[in-house]
Amino acid sequence: MSGLYLALCIDDLALAAARLGGAISPCVVVDKGQVIAADPDAEAMGVVPGQSADTALALGNLRLSPRCTATENSLMRATADWAYRHSSWVHCDQERLIMEVGGSLKLFGSLDTLWQRMQTRVLQRVGRCRMGLGPSPAAALQFAQLEWQTLDIEQTREWLPNIPLHSLPLDTSLLLKLQGMGLKSVGELLALPTADLARRFPQALLDYLHRLTGRRPDPRPLWSPAEQFDAWLHLQHPCRTSTALIFPLRHLLEQFEDYLKARQLQCTSLRLGIQQEDRSTITVDLDLGNGANHLNELLEPLKLKLPSIALSDQVSDLHISSASFQPWQANTGDLMSPRHHDTEATLLNALRARLGDDALQGLSCTTDWAPETANRIHAYGQPSRGEVATTLVRPTWLLSEPRPLSEDELLGLHPVRGPERIESQWWQDKGVRRDYQVAWHQGTLMWVYQDLRTHRWYLHGLFG
């Protein structure tokens, strides 16, 4: 299988998930009563993975953090999404990630640049990792686990025979058999005739060696970006107030920002789930109008909405999800008078968060000629169906019901424009047939009409 592959073995995934939830150093992560990860401060106290939780507590003043696989999965999905921005061949398996980088060298300039981008990203968002480069996915993974690092492609091929057999993902019984024959490296094993290998050992060993050396394809499930965003965060220190959730929410929204930018999308609405220790869940739906894809545009409306949330117990988990997207459209600013990015959208989102999703409404014209049904109210910023533009003179204030005019009022009218005939829905009993005029009456500009069916006059609107 020809190509060049980069593998990452992420060592601090459990620690990163605990730190996102608020764990402080010395940090020890436990699962089923056993230590699975410890930061350098905890290791300096003698805590090592594999110890029991009781042993770790006896070594010093520690606060153990329970493992949160949901947060770990969210971090790995975000890392795989980042890798997918650099390569279309990405394989993600628990705490290991492999990506094909040979086809991406021209895009990113050099192998060193691509290596540094991946390493910096993982160190910033997750933590320590081991990286390896190889001519096949299996070889890259082996070099990463052994911490054999080089950017020389030819050297990776020279290292293949030196891989120790005890590091291969083989059954223990098979490794003991190879050790009993005095074989210690892949090169010594490959020196044997293929026919002897096939006769003495299972076919699975020969297949793995061929995948390791690139002689045979190595099909693996490839990473496919999710159609919707979904991320969890377990809080190591439960929050007692809703406003204290802003800091952990920032971490989730940073993942969401990367998700949107990788796909060149804007989010039009998202859902925040707040899980409390009494197992109740508060759901907050946030309408973002025309869309947002920057961290501050996502966080600021939540800052305004959080103080109004009443908690019944301490918050233990946060969940953000969204499936409402639209293509991102870049706005080209004026070179001579630069402006901040879309201040109108930011203001509208803040008003929605403070006043409620239904507080902002828009008014548009429809295809109906009857004035009382010619306008339609809809959510502000969203186009209404059947919207049309009009240049006709219409009052700013339309009465809810036309008011009959008295004889004295008719005598005081002074027409200034019209008449304009409106006939609509003539095939129905409620159809209209009217002659409208703009007229002055005691200093007020009015919109009046005569019903051609009854010949009576009505006031229908006032001009501001």
pLDDT of 1 strictly over 50: no
Q: Round to whole Å and give the CA distance between 115 and 120.
A: 9
Q: Does 113 map to a domain?
A: yes
User: Are 197 and 258 contained in the same domain?
Assistant: no
Query: What are 172-203's pLDDT values in tens digits?
Result: 888 898 888 889 999 999 898 888 888 888 88
Q: Identify the CATH number of the domain in which residue 196 sits.
A: 3.30.70.270
Question: What domain range is 280 assigned to?
Answer: 229-329+341-355
Mean pLDDT of 393-400: 84
The per-residue pLDDT for 331 is 62
Q: What's the token pair of residue 294?
A: 């920057």
Q: Identify the CATH number of the domain in which residue 268 sits.
A: 3.30.1490.100
User: Are 176 and 299 contained in the same domain?
Assistant: no
Residue 248 and residue 235 in contact, taking contact as beta carbons nearer than 8 Å: yes
Query: What are 250-289's pLDDT values in tens digits?
Result: 999 999 998 898 888 999 999 999 999 988 999 999 888 7
Q: Does 218 map to a domain?
A: no
Of 24-38, 117-131, 289-303, 349-363, the poorest mean pLDDT is in 349-363
The per-residue pLDDT for 332 is 57
Percent of the chain with pLDDT over 70: 91
User: Are 91 and 121 contained in the same domain?
Assistant: yes
Mean pLDDT of 377-396: 66
User: Are 151 and 252 contained in the same domain?
Assistant: no
Q: Does 364 map to a domain?
A: no
User: Are 236 and 350 contained in the same domain?
Assistant: yes
Determine the 3-state secondary structure of 195 from DSSP.
Answer: helix
Q: Does 155 map to a domain?
A: yes
Strand 63-66 vs strand 27-31: parallel, antiparallel, or unpaired? parallel
C-alpha distance from residue 261 to each of 81, 133, 320 (Å): 11, 28, 17
Task: Give the model's confidence band at 429: pLDDT under 50 very low, under 70 low, under 90 confident, else very high.
Answer: low
Q: Does 313 map to a domain?
A: yes
User: Are 172 and 248 contained in the same domain?
Assistant: no
User: Are 103 and 183 contained in the same domain?
Assistant: yes
Q: What's the token pair of residue 412?
A: 């005081």
Q: What pTM was computed for the model?
A: 0.71
pLDDT of 384 strictly over 90: no
pLDDT averaged over the chain? 87
Q: What's the token pair of residue 457?
A: 């006059």
User: Are 74 and 180 contained in the same domain?
Assistant: yes
Query: What are 430-443's pLDDT values in tens digits?
Result: 678 899 999 998 88
User: Are 207 and 142 contained in the same domain?
Assistant: yes
pLDDT of 392 strictly over 90: no
Q: Does 188 map to a domain?
A: yes
Count: domains in the chain: 4
Task: Give the model's confidence band at 150: pLDDT under 50 very low, under 70 low, under 90 confident, else very high.
Answer: very high
Query: What are 63-105's pLDDT values in tens digits?
Result: 899 999 999 999 999 999 999 989 999 999 889 999 999 988 8
DSSP string, 323-352: EEEEE--PPPPPSSS---TTHHHHHHHHHH
User: Are 36 and 12 contained in the same domain?
Assistant: no
User: Are 112 and 161 contained in the same domain?
Assistant: yes
The per-residue pLDDT for 64 is 92
Task: Give the model's confidence band at 352: pLDDT under 50 very low, under 70 low, under 90 confident, else very high.
Answer: confident
User: Are 144 and 263 contained in the same domain?
Assistant: no
Q: Does 42 map to a domain?
A: yes
Q: Does 402 map to a domain?
A: yes
DSSP string, 124-162: HHT--EEEEEESSHHHHHHHHHHT---S-HHHHHHHGGG
